[in-house]
Amino acid sequence: MRLRLGDSLPALRELALTATPFVVLAAALLALAYLVLDPAPPRQVTLATGQDQGAYAEFGRRYAQILKENGITVHLKATAGAAENIALLRAPGGDVDIAFVQGGADPEPTPRGGDDDPDGLVSLGSLFYEPVWLFYREDSAERLLKAPELTGLAQLAGWRVNIGAPGSGVPNLMARLIGANQLDPSAVTLLRDPQTPAVVKLLDGSADAVVFASAPEALMVQMLLQTPGVRLFDFAQSEAYARRFPFLSAVTLPRGVVDLA
């Protein structure tokens, strides 16, 4: 038996009329899901960096150029540093999408062994080591310790230590390290100056020590490493710090890197 085309047309029309509402509904649901879930990468993001002449600012400019080549516009936002960056990420309705954050800068850290931040912050990965430097005056060690060098953070009682401006990452990090050494924070005079004024105070004797995080190539680091009367603190317990604080890593500054002579 042969089925003629004319006989099948009514059946096809009936099938089309029956299926059309479902097809339209499915398309509408897919469109709604696309709008709500927004699976496509954003075309514009705001990146919180750091102080204008710092390493974070330079890295921000590099990322902006790379992402621009991929059709993504990056708006750079200068900040005081890592702690302010975290606060901006957590701010309800804030205008910062991504930021550079130094390990240990978070005043509200995720519990040890946990991966979930209560505010939904996600790490995209580790980028580079950012060494923590503690420089101190030799005459301060002689005066306060009656010894030629500082050998442990617990000896900082009575010292004037510059730990960086509010909003930067080092103050929160130092608060943890001081606590881990069972040193009463009130026993240390903590100064809060940006890096350049902090170094000036160290050199003129207004401060006994300065702490900051920076690349070894930074001009301030290189200058202090070669300044007479200023010594670099040796974190002899670096492995212990790294085990106690998972955001820290022990690194070695090889002898002769600064000056082979």
Both 96 and 146 in one domain: the answer is no
Q: By C-alpha distance, which of 206, 226, 222, 204 is closest to 214?
A: 222
Answer whether residue 51 is part of any domain: yes
Alpha helices by DSSP H, listed for the chain, are: 5-37, 55-68, 82-90, 138-145, 170-180, 195-204, 219-225, 238-244
Residue 35 parent element (H or E): helix 5-37
Contact 202, 209 (CB under 8 A): yes
Is there a single domain that holds both residue 58 and residue 110? yes
Same domain, 143 and 235: yes
Question: Are 119 and 152 contained in the same domain?
Answer: no
The tens-digit pLDDT sequence of the chain (261 residues) is 454 545 555 665 666 667 677 667 777 777 776 666 665 667 899 999 988 777 788 889 999 999 999 899 999 999 988 889 999 998 887 789 999 988 888 876 655 444 556 667 888 888 888 899 999 999 999 999 999 999 999 999 999 999 998 888 899 999 999 999 999 989 999 999 988 999 999 999 999 999 998 888 788 888 999 999 999 999 999 999 999 998 899 999 888 877 787
Strands 209-213 and 132-137: antiparallel
Residues 230, 189 within the same domain: yes
Q: Which residue type does 2 have? A: R
Last residue of a domain, one of 97, 123, 149: 123
If asked whether residues 93 and 194 sit together in one domain, one would say no
Contact 132, 213 (CB under 8 A): yes
Domain range for 58 is 41-123
CATH number where 191 lies: 3.40.190.10
Count of domains forming the chain: 2
Q: CA angle 194-198-203, nearest 5°?
A: 160
Q: Are residues 45 and 117 in the same domain?
A: yes
Among 123, 148, 175, the domain boundary falls at: 123
108 and 153 in a single domain? The answer is no
- Do both 199 and 142 map to the same domain? yes
pLDDT digits (tens, 9 = 90+) for 122-176: 888 888 888 999 999 999 999 999 999 999 999 999 999 999 988 888 999 999 9
Amino acid (1-letter code) at residue 242: A
Q: What is the pTM of this model?
A: 0.74
- Is 116 within the bounds of a domain? yes
Residue where the block lists tokens 């919180």: 48
Identify whether 253 is part of a domain: no
134, β-bridge pairs: 211
Q: Give yes or no: residues 116 and 140 share one domain.
A: no
Q: Are residues 118 and 196 in the same domain?
A: no
Q: Are residues 239 and 136 in the same domain?
A: yes
